[in-house]
Structure 1
């Protein structure tokens, strides 16, 4: 999957820079074109001669290559050349600069000019990695659509033992290859995705809703867009912004509006992922004026909403793939299996409110993906990482190797 891919490898000032030599060697061996960009601090740990020889291209790192002639290196052209940028090792210093838009060297200028996916492979001591400022910088970069390849656990240069070792070159190459593999699966595919809660009006002031924030659905939309899919996101009310410039977002409020949008768009889609938390019931009558607080006991008569998943499941045609979600509090696996069969879903993603860190409002999720051949459990991960797992599961089912 790396044959002919253009990859910028950014190198910052860490002892882990010695691993970058092998990373570049493996990428070139796999057929990739590699352009190395080094910071001044990185040159104190490994020489440009070494990395330039391995990449077969002159190393970049200075804006002006020849002051006498006025020759300069165009950071914009460098950034736009790349299919992907991998910053390995990524120090706490460079993470902080990138997260806050500080552009004082060639590498950060390339980063801020990039339109391609950016992967970071952190390398630092465990207390630096766990520090609140570093965690916040990582969170900010992820919110910009950047991806992180988690550091390993082991002995660090300080002599301490813990998390902070840069991922091994073989793992970095595997994750880069997986990205390009997934991207080719999804490129050009039309995907309809729902996310967020619905709000069912009681009167002009009040409504019935749930605790969904839309984070899982928006993480899926971002991953799909980065993989090249044509994404239409039907979103209930949420504070989240559009997760990727290419995502088309349609805002709805009620379960009825969400169904009508899905019903209108369904036939032209190749994959439909229903991640929204849609109300099962809605008030039978909506008051036209604000209801005053008078009675000690106040009853609202409710009626069922249209079951979007079941309705679309009945209409599904060969070549269409339908994925649902199940949030359960008891008998989780059995309930999710029955829901998949009952609604004619190809896959269903289960999470439980009994799992710490999963469910509404968290930036993490612990999922089980259930399909026709059984189920797979995944550990607690960021919702971004969970989204990648879900897309890989769909790819294996819908787009198997030919």
Structure 2
């Protein structure tokens, strides 16, 4: 199942930069997941966001000054370091990056970090020229060699007026990177090919045949596989979704384009998961010009598209192949029929219609059918959780 932060002991380090306000939103994300979060701030960070804000959200004292005898957090900072299951520093300034690279311990955060033995995520945020300087790049390389994970900054117009890399990523991206860091890597070394979204079959330059697939399920599977250490290629039809973190996305539009991409990529992958809702039919002829209403026929001749899943099933060699079946009725019969006819290892079947499951919903309920004639009923859950449950079953087959 998906890695949850519930009950995990985390430490959030906050440095003095304009992006410190994003740390507040990150803390909200972590607390919402019911993680136990403690905050260590530099003195400069307090010029941007007051410690009382972090204390109110984390429900724990903030550690700022190691020499404040009355500061309970200062006395406990070594205990925090021993108890922490992960540390994230966001924003990480050039100053703290240099201190960590050089082993300097002259304030609460840098001293705390020398005692840390858990995974660490560093999120640099600074002026573009500072970030690109040889000194900062050398220090980041050193931190990577120490085993720290570096989340590259975003690019754009910065508060200082420059344009380029140096922007602290959105809190949701930092959150995902932290979950990545803590997720067991049971797919490390595996190559996974995933399809997602709908296809569009052109009628003329402005009209096409498609379906309501949002791509959410396929993107969730791609994200989950990448979190678990796989090298993931996602072949995606047209969607409104952002590319998943650490996933190579190959965009396609039509069923023919998807077929060419899948069949061209499949030999290099250990696991193939086809969640895409590929059109079964396309217009037999496509007009080069927009068809005017006065000239339009009331019927369109259709022809079948290639059955990509069947073609992959016929060609697979020691690969795990997973398909999806969205049906309006007789799910068991149709899903088990596809499982056998297309040489699948698993097929995920679900009934379309309920508003809380299916194409555009963030949740789904399904039945997993296996090639050994067993099945598993899955109650309503998020598509992210279903993605991890499916990968759990795939890992079981692969091992």
Structure 2 equivalent of residue 189 of structure 1: 190
Deviations 1:309-349 (A, max 9, x none): 0000001112x111111111101122111111111011111
User: In structure 2, do the counterparts of structure 1 residues 60 and 390 end up closer, same or farther at CA, with 3 Å as the change threshold?
Assistant: closer
Structure 2 equivalent of residue 312 of structure 1: 312
8 Å CA contact 2:344–2:371 kept in 1: the answer is no
For residues 46-57 of structure 1, the aligned pairs below 5 Å read 52-53=78-79, 56=82
For residues 1-150 of structure 1, the aligned pairs below 5 Å read 9-10=10-11, 37=39, 40=55, 41-43=59-61, 52-53=78-79, 56=82, 71-72=106-107, 73-74=109-110, 83=119, 115=150, 146=176
Report the Cα distance in structure 1 between the residues aligned to 2:343 and 2:384, rounded to whole angstroms: 27
Structure 1 equivalent of residue 282 of structure 2: 282
Structure 2 equivalent of residue 381 of structure 1: 381
8 Å CA contact 1:255–1:305 kept in 2: the answer is yes
Report the Cα distance in structure 2 between the residues aligned to 1:282 and 1:77, rounded to whole angstroms: 59
In the alignment, structure 1 segments of 5+ residues that lack a partner are 1-6, 24-34, 86-112, 117-139, 150-175
Structure 2 equivalent of residue 162 of structure 1: none
Deviation at 1:288, TM superposition (A): 1.2
User: In structure 2, do the counterparts of structure 1 residues 145 and 51 end up closer, same or farther at CA, with 3 Å as the change threshold?
Assistant: closer
Report the Cα distance in structure 2 between the residues aligned to 1:357 and 1:285, rounded to whole angstroms: 37
Deviations 1:25-55 (A, max 9, x none): xxxxxxxxxx965654403998665684486
Structure 1 equivalent of residue 161 of structure 2: none
Count of aligned pairs between the two proteins: 291
Structure 2 equivalent of residue 334 of structure 1: 333
SS state at 1:217 partner: helix
Report the Cα distance in structure 1 between the residues aligned to 2:105 and 2:269, rounded to whole angstroms: 53
Structure 1 equivalent of residue 320 of structure 2: 321
Report the Cα distance in structure 1 between the residues aligned to 2:111 and 2:266, rounded to whole angstroms: 43
Deviation at 1:360, TM superposition (A): 1.0
TM superposition score normalised by structure 2: 0.62
8 Å CA contact 1:370–1:376 kept in 2: the answer is yes
Deviation at 1:357, TM superposition (A): 0.8
Report the Cα distance in structure 1 between the residues aligned to 2:112 and 2:216, rounded to whole angstroms: 32
Deviation at 1:115, TM superposition (A): 4.8
For residues 146-165 of structure 1, the aligned pairs below 5 Å read 146=176
In the alignment, structure 2 segments of 5+ residues that lack a partner are 1-7, 13-26, 41-53, 63-70, 97-103, 122-147, 152-169
8 Å CA contact 2:61–2:72 kept in 1: the answer is yes
SS state at 1:266 partner: helix
8 Å CA contact 1:203–1:287 kept in 2: the answer is yes
User: In structure 2, do the counterparts of structure 1 residues 75 and 188 end up closer, same or farther at CA, with 3 Å as the change threshold?
Assistant: farther
User: In structure 2, do the counterparts of structure 1 residues 144 and 49 end up closer, same or farther at CA, with 3 Å as the change threshold?
Assistant: closer
Structure 2 equivalent of residue 362 of structure 1: 361
User: In structure 2, do the counterparts of structure 1 residues 389 and 141 end up closer, same or farther at CA, with 3 Å as the change threshold?
Assistant: farther
Structure 2 equivalent of residue 203 of structure 1: 204
User: In structure 2, do the counterparts of structure 1 residues 352 and 199 end up closer, same or farther at CA, with 3 Å as the change threshold?
Assistant: same
8 Å CA contact 1:220–1:387 kept in 2: the answer is yes
- The answer to which of 199-208 and 348-357 deviates more is 348-357
Deviation at 1:355, TM superposition (A): 3.6
Deviation at 1:225, TM superposition (A): 1.3
Residue 267 in 1 paired to residue 297 in 2? Answer: no
Report the Cα distance in structure 1 between the residues aligned to 2:175 and 2:327, rounded to whole angstroms: 29
